A and B are shown apart, each in its own frame.
Chain A
Amino acid sequence: MNAAARESATPLRSVGLVGRGVLLETVRRRELYVILVFAALFLAGVLVARAVGIPNPETGTFVLNLGLTLALGAAHVLAILTAARQIPAELENRTIHPVLAKPLSRAEYLLGKWWACTATGASTFFVLAAIAWIAVPKLEDYSPPMLVQTFLAGVLSLALVAALSLLGSILIPHAMNVVLVALVVWFGHTFGGFVVARAAGGVFAGFARWLMAYVPNFNKLNLVARYTDGIGPLPPGEFLVMTLYVTICLAACFAASAFAFDRRRL
């Protein structure tokens, strides 16, 4: 890299290039097939639902809720799988060394990987949710601004899950990471509820509640039920608080990842 090129490699550009690499690799490895498989299954499912019949508005809402929930779930699965294997795969194939030999900090490398994994998850979510939303008849009232918030909250959730998976991939074995992150996403709030319920009434009740608040609560970022329940959008202040909640979690994930990555021998 000559001096001019070195100067042009701003942090933002470096992050963009790493992320672009991830996306190109996703296309090269034909991983988009998975999105297509899910999309085809979704379309088939929704068409079958229509063929079987949606006899009342409640059932229409139920099918719409199921479709959007599955779309969000599939996007999370893909984001976890994509993010969790980035660093282990680069280490195994030894492709990480030439990348980090460039004028690129490890934090930038992580950030690049993260945005691309988030983008992969978000694209999956948009495609699948669009299929479900377009195909299911809407027999009850739903708030359009709430739909927008549902998508935005979904992207925030995917961003957090990608960051968490990247952090896990530095600290623990691959399979363990995938399983643990999946458990946090789908059972984290239930686990927190368990602990709080068990400690209720005891001297550690307040401590348990405080401690469990550190487990990222993905349930709070899933607004699908709120949308299909016909509730209006969150006030801007509340949505901002939610965004701040995710931002703090993201920043902590990146800080922990950067510390762990710096200490890791490559």
Chain B
Amino acid sequence: MNAIRLIAKGVLIEGVRRREIYAVVLVSVLLIGAVLTVDFFDIEGIEKFYREVALLVMSFATAATAVVLAARQLPREFENRTIYPMMARPVSRLQFLLGKLSGVLLATLFCLAIFMAVYVAGTLWLGHRIPWALFGQYVFLQLLMMTIVATMSFWLSMVLNLDAAISIAAVLYLSASVLSSLVTYIFPDLTTVGRYLLTAFVYLVPQLQIFDLSAKATHGTDWPPLSLATMAMLTAYAAVYSSGFVGLSLLAFRRRSL
């Protein structure tokens, strides 16, 4: 446990010290701020616009941080040859991976926490109401989604080169909703084999759109929070896929000669 904690701490400190997270946060906040400076005719009841823009920019920026941080951890260790002294210590490859993953998730959490603080402060400043229960669930589901995205990026970075890993993870994240609509639409027209393949796709590739509560958080006042059973199912779903990707990463890592 101590080894995992130490490795995670190293990743977190590196993530926090490098100016990249702050750059992303700053630019995102400036973008949202610039949009809000537009004269919207001094109309009441336009909080949906603020929520949508802010949550969209923040979700995207958090995902970008998670993907890039996770994908570059292992290739950089190999490229800079810093993995060799690490592996010479009594640290197993699983511990090493879990340490790296924990660090990435903590750095992502750090990024998300800054964003959410900005979002809450902005909402209160504008005098809008926050549906707290739904908002809390939104943040939790974002974290679950980022865990899957980070573990997936880890695995992809082990089997592909860095840019390809980042590209595929980003495409999967960005196209989650489109893929979901697509599979439900084309399913009835497929042959039996096609249907089996599509069903396999739905269960093999994580369906990230099921963690996206941003639309309900945007149109929040009329949507109740999710039930505990739903939250439990989503947590279990995220745990299964994240564990699967960690397992695949470990397999790829073990096969790699140092």
A175 engages B38 (CB within 8 Å): no
Secondary structure of the B contact surface, majority rule: helix
Q: Is the interface of A mostly helix, strand, loop or mixed?
A: helix
Indicate whether A31 reaches chain B with its CB closer than 8 angstroms: yes
Contact string against A for B residues 160-180, beta-carbon threshold 8 Å, 1 for contact and 0 otherwise: 110110011001000000000
CB distance from B24 to the nearest CB of A (A): 6
Q: With a CB–CB cut-off of 8 A, which chain B residues contact A173?
A: 19-20, 23
List A residues at the B interface (Cβ < 8 Å). 29-31, 33-34, 37-38, 41, 48, 51-52, 81, 173-176, 179-180, 183, 187, 191, 194, 197-198
Contacts A33-B164, A37-B168; A194 near B19 (Cβ below 8 A): no
Is B186 in contact with A198, judged by CB distance below 8 angstroms?
no
Task: Count A/B pairs, Cβ under 8 Å.
Answer: 55
Min CB distance B90 to A, Å, is 31
Q: Which residues of B contact A198 (CB under 8 A)?
A: 37-39
Whole-angstrom distance between the alpha carbons of A46 and B23 in the complex?
Answer: 36
Question: Which residues of B are found within 8 Å of A31, using beta-carbon distances?
Answer: 161, 163
Q: Given contact pairs A30-B161, A173-B19, enumerate 10 new A-B contacts (beta carbons under 8 Å).
A: A29-B163, A30-B164, A38-B167, A52-B182, A81-B163, A176-B20, A176-B23, A179-B24, A183-B31, A191-B34
26 contacts between A and B (CB under 8 A): A30-B161, A31-B161, A31-B163, A33-B163, A34-B164, A37-B164, A37-B167, A37-B171, A41-B171, A48-B182, A48-B186, A51-B186, A173-B19, A173-B20, A174-B20, A175-B20, A175-B24, A176-B20, A179-B23, A183-B27, A183-B31, A191-B34, A194-B37, A194-B38, A197-B38, A198-B37
Q: How many residues of B contact A (CB 8 A)?
A: 22
Which chain B residues lie closer than 8 Å to A41 at the CB level? 171
B8-42, CB under 8 A of A: which get 1 and which 0?
A: 00000000001110011001000100100111000
